[in-house]
Amino acid sequence: MQKQIIRRQRVNDDHLNNTLHPVIKQIYASRGVVSEQELELKVNQLCAIGGLKGLDQACKLLHQALVDNLKIIIVGDFDADGATSTALMMEALAAMGSFNHNFLVPNRFEYGYGLTPEIVDIAFAQGAQVIVTVDNGISCLAGVKHAKSLGLIVIVTDHHLPGKETPPADAIVNPNQHGCDFPSKSLAGVGVAFYLMLSLRKYLRELNWFQEKGFAEPNVAQLLDLVALGTVADVVSLDANNRILVEQGLKRIRAGQTRPGIQALIEVSGKNQQRLVASDFGFSLGPRINAAGRLDDMSYGINCLLARDISSARAMAAELDDLNKTRREIEQGIQQEAERVLKQLNFDDDNLPNAIALYQKDWHQGVIGIVAGRLKEKFHRPSIVFALAKEITLAEEDALAEESALTEETAQAEEISSINENVTEKATSEIEIKGSARSIPGLHIRDLLEHIDSQHPGLILKFGGHAMAAGLSIYQHNFEKFQTLLNDLAGLWIKEEDFNGVILSDGDLPVNEMTLDFAEQIRAAGPWGQNFSEPLFDDHFTLVQQRIVGEKHLKIVVQKDQQVFDGIAFNVDIKAWPNAKAEKVHLAYRLDVNEFRGKRNVQLMVECIKAID
């Protein structure tokens, strides 16, 4: 779908310092920066820990666990946010004086997301007396209830939106829980874990814990590299508080004050540690950690982050890099199949459903979220991609087929044809499929799922998430019903104009500003990320050269006012480009720095390219 380029309206920026470059000054103002204090990004500007509901109770419970040397099991999630949260808790608890803690991350292919009753049983078998969830737990009612029935203490730390009922945990720390006045509602799971450890250090300090135990009070700021990585990788909104966390983490990493695991991930990603930017977390480091949870076991990603020496960290980072390459191949195959399905259904830019829901039993559930995101970007429709929640073995398929066949024989013998339909449905009704959803501005996908759940009880087995991303499970035989409901409701909930993909531009950039120096100024003006987008400009250029590289990336050379610039557009429509007839183009681009063999040049990262007649 060809997106429309719309320029942002100019806003008043008189409240910002005139020493700022005028273009950057306007960029800040257009992104809602209301004071110069927001641009300082200093630790002392972070939201105070006192406003986060549940911290006091969680600290009391953790202190008692330290006193009694109780076995603490951290239950994480299988994405980069969950991995960094888990690693942070492991390191921080050790620094606080715990000698009896470990972590457990559900394998997504066996147990699914969060603190399930099955995971509680595993933790209990490992001797858990206290369970601390990170980046999950707020929707895990059954799991928390089961843990309490076993006599365990449960502390939930999460950032996902709660449902109507919250779990009966001993303490819940979540900025989005009912009654929490914490001003930054966009904390990632790792941000919540960081605040808990900040609070625990303060709590222990006031009890003279460190002095009595005879060891130094830990520097919690050493965990900010993990916080920065997890925050950006989870694509949470970079409000003022999150920008501070990310900037402080980046500063530590650039200065060489980071753990071996992150250093190794930077190396294997081919990035320059001294010039690392926030987007490198999202596009380079985060995907390699996520690959472990998507295709194998997230414990490997966590252990990489916890590595004590660079040698072992490099070995694990290399394994994660290999997994990420495999993930890309699987993802590309599924995306191509998904697009073929859409084509077979006669969907095109002029004939699209209100929401896309696709399912195929051989799709890999580890990459369906990425594919849903790709479909959402390409067609600008809410997209949900489903896969089997648990891989069905050949033996299980044979058993289902045999049960259906036996049913058919019985029905024929007894001449009761209706039995066949009923029991065949029963034989297949327990096959659960898992969906990963990505939405567009204008549709809160979790609210829509909650509405479907309330109006059609039992159709959705479980769900959770945010406005822009969510996950759910349904039975396979209910897929078409769900698909129809999703499409119908999306048509009612989404305004017509929201279906039109829009690229917001900061306007044209004078050629004399399209320099390496100004590109560096833009980099330094970050961190940029979700809801605090990196500056994007648009203008008309003469197209000098064009060619496809890497199968579907368009490498171009353009000219304006006798100045020539290199550019690249990723994942272009190869049916439309290269375009031999195009002489003039309208580009929406980001001004970037390309580093190759020690040379640094300006490069246009093209977000949208349109031929001009």
Q: What is the pLDDT of residue 501?
A: 82
Per DSSP, 494 falls in state S
Q: Does 423 score more than 60 pLDDT?
A: no
| DSSP helix/strand/coil, 547 | strand
Q: What is the pLDDT of residue 1?
A: 61
Instruction: Select, from the ranges 347-361, 410-424, 583-597, the one with the highest average predicted confidence (pLDDT).
Output: 583-597
Number of C-beta neighbours around residue 214 at 10 A: 6
Q: What is the pLDDT of residue 498?
A: 84
Per DSSP, 360 falls in state -
Q: What is the pLDDT of residue 485?
A: 96
307-319 confidence digits (pLDDT tens): 999 999 999 999 9
Torsion, Cα 602 606 610 611, to 10 degrees, reads: 40
Q: What is the pLDDT of residue 406?
A: 34
| Burial class of residue 43 in the structure, from the number of CB atoms within 10 Å of its CB (0-12 exposed, 13-18 middle, 19+ buried) | exposed
Q: Which residue has the higher pLDDT, 592 or 340?
A: 592
Which residues, listed in sequence order, are joined to residue 601 by a DSSP beta bridge?
Answer: 594
d(C-alpha 101, C-alpha 89), whole Å: 10
Lowest mean pLDDT among 208-212, 403-407, 595-599: 403-407
Per DSSP, 310 falls in state H
Q: What is the pLDDT of residue 599?
A: 86
Q: Does 509 score more than 70 pLDDT?
A: yes
As given in the structure block, the two tokens for residue 452 are: 């479907």
DSSP E strand stretches across 258-372: 356-359
d(C-alpha 156, C-alpha 159), whole Å: 10
- Residue pair 546/579 in contact by the 8 Å Cβ criterion: yes
380-413 confidence digits (pLDDT tens): 999 999 999 864 433 333 333 333 333 333 333 3
Q: How confident is the model at residue 377 (pLDDT cuts 50, 70, 90)?
A: confident
Q: What is the pLDDT of residue 292?
A: 86
As given in the structure block, the two tokens for residue 272 are: 């320059």
146-162 confidence digits (pLDDT tens): 999 999 999 999 999 89
Task: Please report, for residues 54, 63, 93, 219, 444, the alpha-carbon distance to residue 209 in angstroms, rounded to integers and kept in the order given.
Answer: 21, 9, 13, 15, 45
Residue 62 dihedral angles phi and psi, to the nearest 5° = -70, -35
Q: What is the pLDDT of residue 335?
A: 83
**Segment 530-540 mean pLDDT:** 95
As given in the structure block, the two tokens for residue 588 are: 């929406």
**Segment 512-538 mean pLDDT:** 95
Q: How confident is the model at residue 117 (pLDDT cuts 50, 70, 90)?
A: very high
57-72 confidence digits (pLDDT tens): 999 999 999 999 999 9
What DSSP element (H or E) covers 546?
strand 537-549
As given in the structure block, the two tokens for residue 496 are: 């017509």
Q: What is the pTM of this model?
A: 0.86
**Segment 346-372 mean pLDDT:** 85
Share of the chain above pLDDT 70, in %: 92
Burial 531-567 (b: 16+ CB within 10 A, else e): ebebbbbbbebebeebeeeeeebbbbbbebeeeebeb
Q: Does 424 score more than 80 pLDDT?
A: no
Residue 90 dihedral angles phi and psi, to the nearest 5° = -60, -45
Burial 338-369 (b: 16+ CB within 10 A, else e): bbeebeeeebeeeebbbbbbbbeeebbbbbbb
Domains and CATH numbers, the chain: 4-9+503-612 (2.40.50.460), 43-322 (3.90.1640.30), 351-392+431-499 (3.10.310.30)
Q: What is the DSSP string of 325-353?
A: HHHHHHHHHHHHHHHHHHHHTT-BTTB--
Q: What is the pLDDT of residue 396?
A: 38
The average confidence (pLDDT) of the chain is: 89
How big is the chain by its Cα radius of gyration, in Å? 26
Per DSSP, 151 falls in state T
Burial 9-21 (b: 16+ CB within 10 A, else e): eeeebeebeeebe
Q: How confident is the model at residue 80 (pLDDT cuts 50, 70, 90)?
A: very high
Torsional sign, CA 327, 329, 333, 336 = positive
Q: Which residue has the higher pLDDT, 370 or 347?
A: 370
**Segment 17-37 mean pLDDT:** 92
d(C-alpha 32, C-alpha 278), whole Å: 19
Lowest mean pLDDT among 122-131, 338-347, 356-365: 338-347
Q: What is the pLDDT of residue 348?
A: 63
d(C-alpha 367, C-alpha 290), whole Å: 10
Q: Are strands 432-438 and 383-388 parallel, antiparallel or unpaired?
A: antiparallel
247-292 confidence digits (pLDDT tens): 999 999 999 999 999 999 999 999 999 999 999 999 999 999 998 8
| Burial class of residue 204 in the structure, from the number of CB atoms within 10 Å of its CB (0-12 exposed, 13-18 middle, 19+ buried) | buried
Q: What is the pLDDT of residue 413?
A: 34
Q: Which residue has the higher pLDDT, 235 or 243?
A: 243
**Segment 77-85 mean pLDDT:** 93
d(C-alpha 376, C-alpha 294), whole Å: 20
Q: What is the pLDDT of residue 218?
A: 96
